[in-house]
Structures are given as structure tokens and as C-alpha cells.
Amino acid sequence: MKGYVHVYTGNGKGKTTASLGLAVRALGAGKKVYIGQFAKSKHYSELVTIDKLLTDITLKQYGMGCFIFDKPKEEDIQAAQQGLKDAIAAIESDKYDLIILDEANIAIHYSLFSAANLIEALNRRNERTEIVITGRYACQEIIDYADLVTEMKEVKHYYQQGVQARVGIEK
């Protein structure tokens, strides 16, 4: 079965959780899943789920997670570059049917690596591998490269009323 490249972008809620939903579906079909989370270091509840309940899934985090309000520091760049390296290793290992690069669009947006770097990595995949790239601000090169692009559009979000990320819902 041929694999395709998905992009989940836009400023509405549901990008990361859509990718996790796809992972759950893929695991049920006996597929192996790799998730690299960029620009994230904080605790997300899905880490516990994966740890306690799921097998055949690998999740790694790369990032200090706080530069978004600031300029990326050298360690943010190093972390993202390591994440890209590990993603390339996962792609080349041919061990995974679904590879999710969560917030990779953010990494590109903040110049932690380039769209060309990511495309070069994706070009190394086996044609059966399904890839998902998430994050706001997907750039044109990535949109052009993808086979499927979904934009989550924010119609309303309680964030606008000052509701911060809640455990089990946003994190």
C-alpha cells in the first residue's frame, strides 16, 4: 500500500490530536508508529498513555518548549536538529509504517531547520511509509510537497477568553 504525506496546519485546535488519533487507528491495524515532537519538552498526557497502554509506538521529544515567546536559543536549534536526525534514522530504518513529526511546521517557522532539510529527509522514505507533519504556519514548500493538507480553522477558541492549556484536553 502506498504511503502519503499529510499536513495538519492552521490556527484552530485539533492538529496534534488528529495525528494521535491516526496513530491509534494505525496501531489497531498492526502498524508501527514513530512520533517525534518538536519544540515540546513539557509533560503531555499522551506520553503517559503511550507509556502505559500502547505498544508498537515510539515517542521522542525535542525542545525546550519556551522559545515561542522569545528568540530560539542555540539549545532549541540543537534539539530540533537532533529531532530531525532521529526522524531520518526512523525513516531509513524502515521499521515504521506511520511517522508523525509533530510541530515540525513550527520548527521550520522558527528556522530551527529548513523546509529543504525536512523534504530531503522525507525523500528518503520507503514508498509505503505514511508521514504526518503538524503545526501552525505550514510553509508553501511543505504544502506543495504534501499529498493531503488539512487546515484547522479557528472559528472560536476558549483561549481567546483566557483559558490556558488544560491537562488531559490540551496537554
Count CB neighbours of 49 within 10 A: 14
Applying the rule CB under 5 A, the residues between 15 and 54 that interact with Mg ion are: 15-16
**Does 11 interact with ligand ATP (rule: CB under 6 A)?**
yes
Cβ proximity to ligand ATP, 17 vs 58, nearer residue: 17
| Partner interacting with residue 165 (select from Mg ion, ligand ATP, none; CB below 5-8 Å by kind) | ligand ATP
Sign of CA dihedral 92, 98, 101, 105: positive
Interaction mask 115-154, ligand ATP, x per CB under 6 A: ---------------------x---------------x--
Cβ proximity to Mg ion, 85 vs 171, nearer residue: 171
Supply 55's cell numbers: 505498544
Sheet of strand 98-102, all strands in order from the earlier edge strand to the far edge: 57-62, 33-38, 98-102, 130-134, 5-9, 148-151
Cβ proximity to Mg ion, 72 vs 135, nearer residue: 135
Considering CB under 6 A, how many residues would be counted as binding ligand ATP? Answer: 12
Shortest spacing between CB 53 and ligand ATP, in angstroms: 18
Shortest spacing between CB 18 and ligand ATP, in angstroms: 7
Phi, psi of 67 (to 5 degrees): -75, -15
DSSP element (H, E) containing 86: helix 74-93
Spatial CA neighbour of 71 closest among 13, 26, 108, 111: 111
| Contact set with ligand ATP (CB under 6 A) | 11, 13-17, 136, 152, 157, 159, 165, 170
